[in-house]
Structure 1
Amino acid sequence: MKQLILHVGLHKTGTSSIQSFLMKNIEILKEQGTAVYTRKGKAGVHWVPAMIKNKQPHQVKMVADFVRSELAKDDVNQVIISSENFTQTKQVNYPMITSLLPSNTQLVIIIYLRRQDLLKQSVYSQMVKQGTFSGTINEDSHYNFDLYKQCTKWKALTNDIRVRVVERSQLIEGDLLKDFVHTIGLKWNEKFEPLVNQINESYCSDTMEFKRLLNAKKLPPTINKKIAATLSQYDKERSDNEREKAVFFDFSEASSFLDGFNEGNSGIAREFLGREDGLLFTEMPSEEQLKNIPKLSEKQILNFSAYLIKNLVS
C-alpha cells in the first residue's frame, strides 16, 4: 500500500536538518520512489499545518492534488510532508488531514523525541537568541513538554506512528539523517549529499547570558538581528577551550524537571517502542555535564561589548 508520511517534528529535534536534507536530495529520493512536498524551495512546509488549523479547504485541496498526482505514478510509493508545526494540530482538524489521503493510502506519522531538559534548554536558547525573551529558563513556558500527549494525539488518525529518540545511541549509526532515511523505509544511498554546515547553531554559555541581558533593553528587530549574527561570529572565532556548550540547568534542577515526566515517558517506551522496562531515554544528565551555568564577569562583558562596537560601528 502506498503511503503519505507526515513528519511532525517535534521542534528542536533536528527538523531543520532533516528538511534541508530532503530538499538537497529530492531527486535521489524520487529515484527511490519517495516524493517530497515542497513550497518556495523548502521542504519545511509550515503553511500546511497553518491552513489545516485555519480550516482553508481550497489550500488543502492544492496539497491533496499534489499527493494524489504523485501517488498515481507507478514509480512513486510514498509522499513526505514535513513540518514541526503539525504539533499544534488539534483533533478537530483531523478531517482536513484525512482529506489529503487518496483511497488505499496509509497515513504514517513520524515523530522524533528529545529528553525534556535538553528540549527546554534548546527552546529557551532559541527564544533568547531571537531577542524575544530576557527571563531565566525557569520563567520560560514557550513549549508543551508532555511528549506522551504529543505521541498519543495521533492515534485517532493512524496506527502507524513511528517514534524515534534523538540520542546518538538510539539513532541508526548514531546519525539523525541515516535514521530518518531508515524510518521512512529506505536504505542509505551513497548518492545522498550530507549537510555540510550545522543548522541552527547555538551560542556558548556566556554568549547566551550576555544576549539574554541585552534583550531586556528591547532593541529594534533590525539591530537585534545584527547583534545576534555578530555574537554568532564571535563564538566561531573563539578557541576550542573558550567554546563551551550552553547549559542553564544544574544537575538537581534537570533531574527534578525530568521527574515530572517519568510516567508519560515510560508510557511512550511501552506503547510505541515495545519496551517492557519503560525506558525511553538512555543518556541521562550527569553532574559533570551540568556544571557550567552561565555567570558573566566584568571582563567578559567588556569583551562582548568591544567586539560588538568594533563590528557594528566600523
Structure 2
Amino acid sequence: MRALLALSALLAALILAGCTEDARDALRPSRTGCYFTSGGASAHLTAEQAANAATIAAVGLRDGMDERAVAVAITTAMQESELVNVNYGHDDSLGLFQQRPSMGWGSEEELMDPVYASFKFYEKLQRTDGWRDMTLAQAAQAVQVSAYPDLYKQWEDEAVVIAAVLAGGQEGGIGCVKGSADEVAADPAALAEAYAYQWGAEVSETDGSTVVIDPSDAADGWNRAAWAVARAYDHAVASVAYGGMVWTPGEDDWTAPETETHGEAAVQTANDSHSAVIITFAAA
C-alpha cells in the first residue's frame, strides 16, 4: 500500500514537472470568497459571510459603536451562526446571533433581518457593565449567556482582522473572488437603498452606472469602501475606488491604475476617489 502511495506521489510530481505554469494553476484549488488582511494577520469568509459581517459593522458604526464593539459582534455571530442568516437553531433561536423571540429579542421576522438583529445585539452590549474591560469572548458571553461560553474564544483573532477592515479604517484590507456565486443584474439603486438602510445615511450620488459616497474622513471612507466590496457580488459591482486605489472583482489587492494597463477611465476614477468612494457597476 505504501509503495502504491509513493508511486502515485511520484507520478503526480512528474506530471506537474512537465506541465506548463497555466496547467499547474488549473490544478490548484480555486480561490473563492473574501480575504481580509490587517497588521500582518488575515482571515477568510465566504461572500455570504462577508456581506453579513459588513452589515454588522455598518450598523455598529451607524449607532456610534467602535471597532472593538464590532469585533465582539463578529466574534459572536461567527460562533452562533457561522455568519449565515439561518432561520433555525436551538429551541426558537434565529438569525445571525441566534436570538430568541421567546426571550424578548424581537419577532421572528425582525430577528431574520440582519440589520435589526445587529441593532439588538449592540443595544444589549451597551447595557453590559464593564464590557470594554472584557475579552471579546467574555463580552460575547455577557450578551448571549450561552451554555457554551468557551466556544467564542476560537473566533477572536479572525474577528479582530475583519473588524479592523470593516470598522477600523484599514486601507485596502479586503478583496473578494466570486467563485460559483449566482449571476445578478447590476442594480445601483438597490445598493444605494441597502447603504441607506444599514448606514442610516444617503449616498451622495447615484445613476445607472455609479454610486458615490462622501465620507467624513479617510477611515470613514475605507470602512464604506470595504462594505461595498463585501457586497459586490450582490449587486454586480464592477469596481470600488477610494484613496486613489481601485478594487475590481476577482482581485485580492487594491491597485493604483495606470493608463497603459487599465485605461484612462480607470485612472480618472482613481483620481476622483481621493475624496469620495466611487462604486461602478457592470454593464447590463
Indicate the TM-score class for this superposition, using the shorter chain for normalisation.
Answer: under 0.3
TM score, norm. by length of structure 1 = 0.26
